Amino acid sequence: MTTVFEKTSFLTDAPFHYCPGCTHGIAHRIVAESLEEIGAEGRCVGVAPVGCAVFAYNYFNCDMQEAAHGRAPAVATGIKLVNPDNIVFAYQGDGDLASIGMAEIVHAATRGVNITVIFINNAIYGMTGGQMAPTTLLGQKSTTCPSGRSAQVNGYPVRMCEMLATLDGPSYIARCSLADVKNVRQAKRAVLKAFQNQKEGKGFSFVELLSTCPTNWHMSPVQALEYVKNEMTAQYPLGVFKEI
Amino acid sequence: MTMEERRLMKGNEAIAEAAIRGGCRFYAGYPITPQNEIPEYMSWRLPQVGGRFIQAESEIAAINMVYGAAGAGARAMTSSSSPGISLKQEGISYICGAELPCVIINMVRSGPGLGGIQPAQSDYFQTVKGGGHGDYRMLVYSPCSVQECVDLLYDAYDKAEKYRLPVMILGDGMLGQIMEAVTLPVMKDPSTFPKKPWATDGTGVGQGRRIINSLYIVPDELEAMNKKLQKIYDDMCANEVMCESYLTDDAEIVITAYGTVARIAKSAVDMLREKGIRAGLLRPITLYPFPKAEFQKVIGNDSVKELVATELSMGQYVEDVRLVAGGKKPVKFYGRSGGNVMSPDDIAAFVEKEVQL
Amino acid sequence: MERIVIAGFGGQGVLSLGQLLVYAAMYENQYATWLPSYGPEMRGGTANCSVVIDAEKPVASPIIATSDTLIAMNKPSLDKFQMSVKSGGLIVINSSLITDKCANTAAKAVYVDANRIAHENGNNKASNLVILGAYIRHSGLFPKEVILSTIEKVYASKPQFIPSNKACFEAGFALD
């Protein structure tokens, strides 16, 4: 019998706890494959967030630290400064990164610290049960904006890539989608590029991945993918926002 | 650097230098008066010894950088003053939950709120009762002189790593700004420090992976963790208590105070003795663990009529003194606040007026 | 034990005068503390420091309620601190900036035209060292030579200031 496909060695055998139709699993695999491909094994530390990916420390086959809510970029900065030769990454959701942790991500980016941040944007607080996120779309319903997000009441959704791209510190900023195979392949290339940048010492790199939350969006997995493709991508255009 | 040195130093500078000589190689902090000499000193001194200094965007980021660096195995430190320490409480709780050794300095200023920048001791409860969430304790030192700052900082990382918890120095603006001659010990050799198999140095793979974490979703696991921590705190209470007794053997009045206030109280004891009043001083050096046995011994002395707890707050430390006195001897309270500092004359006058002999 | 309060405007060398005394104590293997006022009042306002020197035992309180000596470099400092000097204590007054007479008659007052003397000795910024000279002469706290060698050690990194600093100190010390 011939082996035609193997799971990347950078993921452990622990089964994911994510909901059916959630794209965290795809994002994990992309990150893990990229880490394997750049040869990060045995020289890698990841930082898990607070949110749905809190158990990421069980899945990535490397040393891991679990950070307080929003603080992953600060924790990763401490780790990187102590051992600059290690590949260090933070994996964060939208509430973690773009709300409570806004200061930490902006300053890690402007400092240009040579880490890689993977930003999962699914426009909702998943772990806590579907509350409004900083990236929730106008009109999108959540348990804390039950009649839909209103600009007047709730303000506007925040575009992280565009904001961070105004800074001098980052070396690479890209937004991709996990909505279909073509986009997943594109996302893989972006994540790989982000880690290669770190390996080459180019400085802070950041990849936003538009993701699903069928459970809290109250959609089927297929509907959720369509929502990413049509609604989310309209608000959050895909592309590379900075590359040096 | 390989020999002892005698220098005149500010408390804040001496703390930074002694921490480095004790192995500190990572510092993250944010400016706030009256502790700015610590980050300023670290910014030029740490690179000289191959360490890293970073000015964080906030106190919150600073304590989390310490979390990351300590988790990666470095001897890491942050410092601040009261409002900044409040911001760090989240991170301190996580550090305790993840069992990371580090050193945290609080050069206390007066509060609440923005308060003032003059000396105070009003963060006592926050420090020894756990300012962050959850059941945790730290080893809390309260030095009263620049030399004592040096002596305690020099071994602080050894203690932090022995118990895997933060060591906090509870000072105040006075201690940070005062200059005294100090003897600086030789630089410790980092290659002699105990190995940290738990640290995320990046080499972990498969079964050898290290996970720094404070999340325990299963109640029984979290309770077991809390029991384990309590056992560590019990060991610390059994082994780390430090306390100074001054003229308590025949004392009728025992004044008790910690940190810089204890120095002022010591002068008050001398003044009272000159007037024929048999006063003594009991000074905890560790605030957690609290020196219960030392207090009980003094309280049990037949000669002791009364205790006077004095502090730069409206009455925090005095609660622990009354707890340990257990009603056996009366405890009077004399406090100043707002950044006002009592003089030895003030304490002596309080004793003469309020204490019946 | 000697408890000294040194006060004046920021920029008059009030804090460094106190530090020189503590350095001298350290070199003489005596015990000493230097405690500055700190904070916003230092910015263009008054500055003061408390110095306690003890030849025999470690200094307990660095806080001074009753002082043995006050060095007043400007009028607000004299007004604020002179009544806290003990009976029989010493008050050294910079008469270049203070025209008032000392109101604490129980203490000994010494008037020093420090700014003029400093100017004549080639260092306008060293009025604090003229005052130090007068203080050392009247207090006998340290032998003159101890202060001279302390000036050499403390200013070793700025050797161009040593001769004029020493001259200013000597000029203050020579006053009756």
Residues with Cβ < 8 Å from B192, sequence gap 6 or more? Answer: none
Instruction: Please give the average per-residue pLDDT across A104-132, as a whole number.
Output: 97
On whether the CB atoms of residues A171 and A193 are closer than 8 A, the answer is no
Residue C44's domain spans which residues?
2-174
CB contact under 8 A, B201 and A63: yes
CB contact under 8 A, C65 and B263: no
Q: What is the reported pLDDT for C40?
A: 58
Identify the closest residue of chain C to B348 by CA–CA distance: C65
CB contact under 8 A, B73 and A65: no
Query: CA-CA distance, A48 to B351, in Å (whole number)?
Result: 56
Dihedral sign computed on CA atoms, order B93, B95, B101, B105: negative
Residue A54's domain spans which residues?
24-243
On whether the CB atoms of residues B105 and B77 are closer than 8 A, the answer is yes
> Which of B330, B305, B304, B294 shows the shortest CA–CA distance to B250?
B304
Same-domain status, B231 and B305: no
Look up the CATH number of the domain holding residue A171.
Answer: 3.40.50.970
CB contact under 8 A, B71 and A75: yes
Q: Which residues of B touch C23 (CB under 8 A)?
A: 8
On whether the CB atoms of residues B168 and B127 are closer than 8 A, the answer is yes
Same-domain status, B234 and B248: no
Q: What is the reported pLDDT for A122?
A: 98
Q: How many domains does chain C have?
A: 1
Q: Model confidence over C90-115: pLDDT tens digits? A: 999 999 999 999 999 999 999 999 99
Question: For the purposes of burial, counting CB atoms within 10 Å of the CB of A64, is it exposed (0-12), middle (13-18) or buried (19 or more)?
Answer: buried
On whether the CB atoms of residues A97 and A105 are closer than 8 A, the answer is yes
Contacts 24+ apart (CB under 8 A), A157-163: A157/A123, A157/A235, A158/A98, A158/A134, A159/A235, A159/A236, A160/A97, A160/A98, A160/A105, A160/A119, A160/A121, A160/A135, A160/A206, A160/A208, A161/A206, A161/A208, A161/A236, A161/A241, A162/A241, A163/A106
A near C: at least 3 beta-carbon pairs less than 8 Å apart: no
**Full pLDDT tens readout for chain B, 357 residues:** 456 789 999 999 999 999 999 999 999 999 999 999 999 999 999 999 999 999 999 999 999 999 999 999 999 999 999 999 999 999 999 999 999 999 999 999 999 999 999 999 999 999 999 899 999 999 999 999 999 999 999 999 999 999 999 999 999 999 999 999 999 999 999 999 999 999 999 999 999 999 999 999 999 999 999 999 999 999 999 999 999 999 999 999 999 999 999 999 999 999 999 999 999 999 999 999 999 999 999 999 999 999 999 999 999 999 999 999 999 999 999 999 999 999 999 999 999 999 887
CB contact under 8 A, B6 and C66: no
Look up the CATH number of the domain holding residue B162.
Answer: 3.40.50.970
> Which of B115, B112, B114, B116 shows the shortest CA–CA distance to B125?
B112
CA distance B148 to chain C (A): 12
Q: How many domains does chain A have?
A: 1
Q: Is residue A5 part of a domain?
A: no
Q: Is residue A19 part of a domain?
A: no
Look up the CATH number of the domain holding residue B314.
Answer: 3.40.50.920
CB contact under 8 A, C62 and B270: no
Q: Which residues of A touch B65 (CB under 8 A)?
A: 74-75, 77-78, 81
**pLDDT band, very low/low/confident/very high, at C176 (cuts 50, 70, 90):** confident
Same-domain status, B232 and B276: no
Same-domain status, B90 and B133: yes
Q: What is the reported pLDDT for C44?
A: 58
Asked if the peptide bond before residue C58 counts as cis, ω within 30 degrees of 0, the response is: no
Q: What are the residues of chain B with a beta carbon less than 8 Å away from any beta carbon of chain C?
A: 6, 8, 33-34, 117-118, 145, 173-174, 177-181, 260, 263-264, 266-268, 270, 341-346
Q: Is residue B175 part of a domain?
A: yes
CB contact under 8 A, A42 and B203: yes
Q: What is the reported pLDDT for B272?
A: 98
Q: What is the reported pLDDT for B2?
A: 53
Q: Is residue B232 part of a domain?
A: yes
CB contact under 8 A, B202 and A61: no
On whether the CB atoms of residues B72 and A45 are closer than 8 A, the answer is yes
B near A: at least 3 beta-carbon pairs less than 8 Å apart: yes
Q: How many domains does chain B have?
A: 2
- If contacts are CB pairs under 8 Å, which of residues 92-111 in chain A contact chain B? 103-104, 106-107
CB contact under 8 A, B68 and A78: yes
CB contact under 8 A, A78 and B60: no
Same-domain status, B183 and B49: yes
Residue B321's domain spans which residues?
244-354
Q: Amino acid identity of B61?
A: A
Look up the CATH number of the domain holding residue C30.
Answer: 3.40.920.10
CB contact under 8 A, C65 and B343: yes
B72 closest CB neighbour out of A74, A83, A104:
A83
Measured between CB atoms, does A78 come within 8 Å of chain B? Answer: yes
CB contact under 8 A, B344 and C26: no
Chains touching chain C, criterion 3+ CB pairs below 8 Å: B
Q: What is the reported pLDDT for C39?
A: 65
Burial annotation A197-211 (CB, 10 A radius, 16+ → b, else e): bbeeebbbbbbbbbb
Q: Which residues of A touch B60 (CB under 8 A)?
A: 71, 74, 103-104
CA distance B58 to chain A (A): 8
Same-domain status, B94 and B9: yes
- For residue B88, the SS3 value is helix
Q: What is the reported pLDDT for B201?
A: 98
Q: Which residues of C touch B346 (CB under 8 A)?
A: 65
Q: Is residue B202 part of a domain?
A: no
- The tokens describing B1, both together, are 């650097």
Q: Model confidence over C34-93: pLDDT tens digits? A: 999 876 555 556 799 999 999 999 999 999 999 999 999 999 999 999 999 999 999 999
